[in-house]
Structure 1
Amino acid sequence: MKFLMGDQSMNLEIITNPAIDVFLELVRNSYEQLYASPFIKANVASMILENKQREAKISLLTSYKLNSFYLNSSDITALKFFIENNVNVRNYPKLHAKTYIFDSEKAFITSGNLTLGGLQNNYECGVLINDKNTVSKLKSDFLHIFTDDQQVSIITEEILFITENILSKVPKEKKVHFEISEKELFAERHIEPEYDLYDGGIETITESLSGWRLDIFNLVSNIPTNVFELDRVYASKNHLQELHPENRNIEAKIRQQLQELRYLGLIEFIDRGVYRKLWKNI
C-alpha cells in the first residue's frame, strides 16, 4: 500500500494482530534493532534474543515504574535477559509510543507493547513502514531521546535487584487494586489520574533501601501531597545534616538521591523542581 506525503509516496503496510510472525521476521533479518515499548514481558524478550542474528545490536527504551512490575504489566526478568545479553536498556518514564526500528530500513509502529498480548492476542493495529527516509527520521528521533541523559537513565542490574527485593516483600495475601489516584495538587500542570501508583505496601520499599536513599524516601513519603516541590525536601536539610554531619553539601545530595529514586521508578520528574511519588502511602 502506498500513501502520498506531499510530492512523495511512502510504502506502508497495515498490520493487525496476530503480528508476531511479521515481527519475528523483522528480528531475524536485521542487524540493528531499536525498540521503544512501555511494557515488556519475558516471553517476548526471549523470542527476540532467540531469533536475532548473533551480531545484532539491540537498544531498548522502556518506562520503568515499580507499579508496572507489581501489576505484572512488565517483567523484571525480561530486562534481566536483555542486560545479560549486552542490550542497552534505558528508562524513559514518559514513554507511551510503541515503535520498533530495524536496520534504518523498516519500522513497525503499533498500538501493541512487546508482550504476547501486544503482538498476538489483543486486537492491535499498526503500520510497517518501508520508506528509508521516514525510517531514518524515526531513528533520529529515537536516538535523540535515547541519549538524552536529562530525561532518560540507564537501567542497571542494581536497580533490578532492588526492585525485585521490594516486590519479594509484598505479602501473598496483598491484592492488586486498580484505584484511580486523586488530582491532589498542581492541577494547572495537567497531571491526570493514573493507574501507576504502587500499593504493595510502603514497608516493602523501606525494607529494601538503606542510607541516604532511605532517608530521602522517608522524607518524601511524609510529604502529604502526591506531587511535591524540591523546596519541600530542602526544608529538612537541617535534619539531614544531623544524620550525616560529614556531608557539607546537603542540597546537592538531596538532588542526587531524588535522581536515584527516579532511577528506581519510585518518583517521576514532572517539571523543574517538581516531582510525583509513584507509590501510595498505605
Structure 2
Amino acid sequence: MYSPDSLLLRLMAMEQWPTMFWRGLIGGCAVTLVLILMYGRGYPAKILALRGYGLAFATAFVATSFCFIFAVRETSVGNTLFIVSTSPVFSALISWAALGERPDRRTIRTIAIALAGIALIAFGGANEGGPDSLIGDLAALGAAFFLASSFVISRSVRPLDMTPMLGPAALMSAVVASVFVADFTVPAAALPPLLAMGLLVMPVATWCLTMGPRHIPAVEVSLLMLIEAVIGPLLVWWALSEYPGDTTLIGGAMIISALAWSSIERLRRR
C-alpha cells in the first residue's frame, strides 16, 4: 500500500509544506472518522491509555512524513527508497537496545542480502539525483530512523493497540506543516493524487504498519517494507516512463528472494 506513495508525490508536484499539510489533514480526518465509528465513546480513553508512548509514536510519524516528502523532492525515488529501506538496521539496533530483542541469524542474513539488492538499485539510479541530492539523501536517512522508531514504539506497548493514534498523528503533521505554509492552494492537477494518497494509500498503509509490530518483531516489519523499494521504482517507470535500469530489476529479484527465503524458514520453524 505504501508503494504508490512516491509516485503520487511526484504527480502532485507541490511544495513540501503544502503537501505535508494536505496529506496529513485529509488522511487524518479520514482515519479519525473511521476510528470514532469503530470505538465510539471509548475512543478518547483508548488514546489516553497509550500515555507517553502515543505522543512518541505521533512525533515519529510526523518526523517520518517530513523527511520522506522532503527526500522525494530533493533526490531520486530510487535513492530515497534505498536509504529508507535501511530501516531494518535501525529497527534491529533500537529493538535490541530498548526491548532486548536480539536479532537471530536468519534476520541478520536476510538484512544483508536484501540491503545488497537495494544497493544495486541505488547503483543503477546513482545519476538520477539532482544538485541537492545529498540533503535529500540525508532526509531519507532520517525517515529510515524515525520509521524504525515508530515500529519499535508500536511493539513496546503490546498488548495495547497503537491504532487510535493514527488519526491524531496525521493531524499533528498537518498542524506542524501549517505553520510553514505560505499558500494553501492546491492545483487542479494535484487534486486526484492528493485525494488518493490522503483517503486510501496513507491511512490503509499506516494502519497495516501499526498492526504488524503487534504480531511480529519490528525488524521483521522493516524487512517486509523492503518490497516498497522494488515496487515503487517500477510504478514510476510505468507511469512516468522512468526506466529503473537493469541493476534495479536484479536487485529487486534479490530482495524478493531474500524475503521469501526468510518467510518460508520462519513458517517451517512454526
**TM-score over 0.5 for the pair:** no
TM-score range normalised by the length of the shorter chain: under 0.3
TM, length-normalised to structure 2: 0.27
Which structure has more relative contact order (CA 8 Å, sep 6+)? It is: 2
TM, length-normalised to structure 1: 0.26
Q: Greater CA radius of gyration, 1 or 2?
A: 1
- The structure with more strand, counted as a fraction of residues: 1
